[in-house]
Amino acid sequence: MSRVNDFALRIATVNGTGSASANGLLMQSIFRMGIPVCGKNVFPSNIQGLPTWYEIRVSQRGHLARTPRFDLVVAMNNATYGRDIAELQSGGWILYDSSWPLPSEIRRDDVNVLGIPLAKMCTDEFKDSRVRLLMKNIAYVGVLAALFEIPLAIIETLLEEQYGARKKALMESNHRAVRLGHDYATSHFTCPLPIRLAAMEASADRILIDGNTAAALGALYAGATVGAWYPITPATSVMDNFKALCAKYRQDPETGRNRYLIVQAEDELSAAGVVLGAGWAGARAFTPTSGPGISLMSEFIGLAYYAEVPGVFFDIQRTGPSTGMPTRTQQGDLLLTAYASHGDTKHIVLYPADPGECFTMAVQAFDLAERFQTPVFLVSDLDIGMNDWLCKRFEWDDAYTPDRGKVLDAGQLEKLKTFYRYLDVDGDGITARTLPGTHPKGAYFTRGSGHTRLGAYTEDPADYVDVMERIARKTASAAHAVPESVIMRKENARAGIVALGGTNPGIMEAVDLLADRGIPVDYLRVRGFPFPPDVEAFLNEHDINFVVEQNRDAQLRSLLLLETNVEKARLKSITDYGGFPLSADRVIRGVLEGLPTDDRIEVVA
């Protein structure tokens, strides 16, 4: 039985051996063939020598969630042979390096074993020992090209684009290695395999991009000038990309000097402080971090909330608690980001589901932060942030102007009798602010201690409550300013699914597959907090709402119970938090288990 453009493979290698370039080359080649594809990097928190995997899924139907079922495994790491072959589907293929004898654990009667002497071929072909090691990985790309029928011309074009004239020798080696693998496969195996690729037109208006690059691009386009950070996986590439983009787009053409300033701080506490200081002084400022960073920043986040200082915090979530699994994904910071810091605090949070939304929501985050004069979180995750996603091309409207909120300039202050920082003159809960250096009348004292609506220090209950109530009104009103939910309805839906962020591909696929089985479900994807009104309305429409999320304690479900009037019994939880991106299987299983018995009987029938 042949399957075209619908299979998954897993490549097991050792990190630090150049497998990332080989895997990227393969992924790009499939993308260039116009076939919907996704790649997931499953990597260790280590620099060299530990097992690492790369998973590629192609799907004619556009189902690009991670799947735990692999049709082909490239076993390049003898330390993980056993595990790798165990994950192979019955009837699948395993490729291994036959320069050495086949180890006993790799034998399985129900799979096809393809041995290629990659190390031996590369030793014969290349002189330098480092090149031999690297080209072994490029050679399996050649093998797979033959097995899946990827045109060599596509691979060669990509190599030329990557290395071109700059690194001619390296490009030559790559070419030779690809050919080496390709020739071996065509002369020793029946090519193509029954699982193979055929060119499509599905990626005409598509790009491959990771969410951290997209978020950095958003910060650039929003006009952020100050970035502060402390390196942390998986958020590091946000600032790396911002820096690279600024080097290209933010230099004064005459002087070569920078129209931005990036501070690599001593820790996340300091990074948060830099954001607050810059926001207070009128710059658009941000920090990219992950859960451990948000924990450390929480003191400053409370100050920003109470003293009403704008700032943007990108939380690229990883597996917690504590150090957790730094290179695995999770949605474990939902409660943390919604209420970060001591005392009564509640924050504006945006939940991108893909790199496209990382870009648009990053821009929105800066607008909301300045409009509401408060910290705003963009909560992404490792899977969105660090893996390449197939996305629609990003759009930009040159008519965009930043929403700087209520900031009084020198002229406005001159006309004012007296300025009071925390006095709500128009009743919307948002008070005007001034920037240091503007005008003598604009001076005020920013403090995290109790203050009155006139900005003075206080320990008076009524004065304190007055300001706290206004801030609560202000934050609540943001429910109408955050992006509305994305709702997909099916006729005669039996239940609703509610989720946010990076679980989207798994749920979209599950919704399709459930519909195939005659179980239509509605799906609402939350995109902002405080929840817009459409969330509660959706929950009340369904007797059963499956809240799908990637954490143990059903944090989104908790948030929904806290922040809406929905009955607890209407919310059923489907959680998956082991560190891998969500698969459709998990959602389907959860829905089937959670539906009333009569519905399930119908399914079986």
Report, in Å, the least distance between residue 456 CB and another protein.
Answer: 5
- Report the alpha-carbon distance of residue 432 to residue 426 in Å, rounded: 10
With CB under 8 A as the contact rule, the residue among 130, 393, 480, 517 that binds another protein is 393
Nearer to another protein by Cβ, of 225 and 558: the residue is 225
Q: Pick from 45, 46, 323, 449 the residue near another protein by CB under 8 A.
A: 449
> What is the C-alpha to C-alpha distance for residues 222 and 372, in angstroms, rounded to an integer?
16
**Considering only residues 225, 319, 545, 558, which one is a binding residue for another protein as defined by CB under 8 A?**
225
CB of 174 to another protein, least distance (A): 20
151 scored as a contact of another protein (CB under 8 A): no
Who's near 325: CB < 8 A, 6+ residues apart?
45, 318, 319, 579
Q: φ and ψ at 48, to 5 degrees?
A: -150, 140
Cα-flanking dihedrals φ and ψ of residue 207, to 5°? -130, 165
Q: Which residue number, 452 or 540, has a Cβ lying nearer to another protein? A: 452
Indicate whether 228 belongs to the interface with another protein (CB under 8 A). yes
CA angle 92/15/122 to nearest 5° reads 75
Q: How far is the CB of 457 from another protein (least distance, A)?
A: 5
Residue number with CB closer to another protein (142 or 311): 311
User: Taking CB under 8 A as the rule, does residue 206 contact another protein?
Assistant: yes
Examine residue 577 and tell whether it contacts another protein (CB under 8 A).
Answer: no
C-alpha dihedral (470, 472, 475, 476), degrees to nearest 10: -110
Among 109, 110, 266, 491, binds another protein (CB under 8 A): 266
Q: Looking at residues 280 to 309 of the shown chain, list those that interact with another protein (rule: CB under 8 A).
A: 280-283, 285, 299-300, 303
Q: Which two tokens stand for residue 34?
A: 């116009």
DSSP state of 68: S
Report cis status (omega within 30 of 0) of the bond before 234.
Answer: yes
Beta-sheet strands, E only, within 239-387: 261-264, 285-289, 311-317, 348-350, 375-381
Per-residue burial over 292-310, b if 16 or more Cβ lie within 10 Å, else e, is bbbbbbbebbbbbbbbbbb
Of residues 206 and 490, the one with the C-beta less far from another protein: 206
Nearer to another protein, 289 or 503 (CB): 289
Rounded to a whole number of angstroms, the minimum distance from the CB of residue 45 to another protein is 25
Per CB under 8 A, does 356 bind another protein?
no
547, containing H or E segment: strand 545-549
Question: Interface with another protein includes 501 (CB under 8 A)?
Answer: no
- State how far the Cα of 210 lies from the Cα of 586, in Å rounded to an integer: 24
Cβ 375 vs Cβ 310: under 8 Å: yes
Write down the least CB distance from residue 219 to another protein, Å: 10
Is residue 409 part of the contact set for another protein (CB under 8 A)? Answer: no
The tokens of 371 are what? 């409009």
589: amino acid identity, one letter: R
Out of 211, 279, 310, 502, point to the residue binding another protein (CB under 8 A): 279
- Minimum CB separation from another protein for residue 431, in Å? 15
Stretch that binds another protein, among 49-57, 83-91, 174-182, 455-463 (CB under 8 A): 455-463
Number of neighbours of residue 230 by Cβ within 10 angstroms: 24
Whichever of 96 and 300 has its CB closer to another protein, that residue is: 300
Three-state DSSP class for residue 433: strand
**Distance between alpha carbon 549 and the CA centroid of its chain, in Å?**
14
CA 158 → CA 29, 140, 238, distances in Å?
Answer: 8, 16, 25
The yes or no reply on residue 250 touching another protein (CB under 8 A) is yes
Among 216-224, 468-476, 556-564, 585-593, the segment contacting another protein (CB under 8 A): 216-224
When the beta carbons of 299 and 536 are compared against another protein, the nearer one is 299
Shortest spacing between CB 307 and another protein, in angstroms: 8
390 lies in the site for another protein, by CB under 8 A: no
- Asked if 440 is part of the footprint of another protein (rule: CB under 8 A), the reply reads yes
Among 4, 133, 200, 262, binds another protein (CB under 8 A): 262
